[in-house]
Amino acid sequence: MLELLDENVSIQNIITILETMTDFGSDKHNFDVILENVRVAIGRDICFPYLCDKTLKAVSFEYSFEKLININFIDTEEGKILNDTYLKIVQANIINAVSILKEKNIKPVLIYGQLNRKLIWNIASKQDREISVISIAEIPNDINVEFIFEMKNDAI
């Protein structure tokens, strides 16, 4: 639960959090998988602070860029890290995207795939602690998503 708090996620819905942890807490899953399933279960709570008229305004990653990121990470004992080349590209993109959102008075939200969402949050949070990284799986169907900007590999 500390990881949820680190990402400024409300744990007010503790019953759902504990039930989901129990459902996915078998020996075959690691804590990151459990955490991502908890985030899906409380997705409405995660998205709510960023909504404007039932719309989540966010930044997306171009599919080919996300694919490159997903194949260029390294698994370490501390978790996933991105190789230096792509780390610099992602950091530059995040800085650019956040400045665009802040110019428009929009809270910085990045949408990334569930598989490596935490990797992107680890990178983004070092740039700006106000950034939220949400996976598509966490967004309930009745919430509209408006993409303000798309990050691309060549966007630096």
Q: In DSSP terms, which residues pair with 52 in a beta bridge?
A: 55
User: What confidence score (pLDDT) does residue 45 get?
Assistant: 95
Structural domain boundaries enclosing 93 = 2-151
In a domain, 67, yes or no: yes
Average pLDDT score over the chain: 89
Distance CA 96, CA 33 (A): 30
Question: How confident is the model over 38-70, as pLDDT tens digits?
Answer: 999 999 999 999 998 889 999 999 999 999 898
In a domain, 17, yes or no: yes
In a domain, 156, yes or no: no
In a domain, 59, yes or no: yes
* Overall domain count for the chain: 1
In a domain, 113, yes or no: yes
Distance CA 138, CA 47 (A): 8
What pTM was computed for the model? 0.88
Strands 55-61 and 51-52: antiparallel
User: What confidence score (pLDDT) does residue 131 get?
Assistant: 93
User: What confidence score (pLDDT) does residue 155 get?
Assistant: 47
In a domain, 115, yes or no: yes
User: What confidence score (pLDDT) does residue 86 get?
Assistant: 87
User: What confidence score (pLDDT) does residue 129 get?
Assistant: 87
User: What confidence score (pLDDT) does residue 56 get?
Assistant: 96
Residues of the chain with pLDDT under 50: 155-156
User: What confidence score (pLDDT) does residue 149 get?
Assistant: 87
SS3 state at 30 = coil
Q: For the chain, list the strands marked E by DSSP.
A: 51-52, 55-61, 73-76, 79-82, 109-112, 132-135, 144-151
Q: Output the domain CATH number for residue 49.
A: 3.40.50.12790
User: What confidence score (pLDDT) does residue 156 get?
Assistant: 44
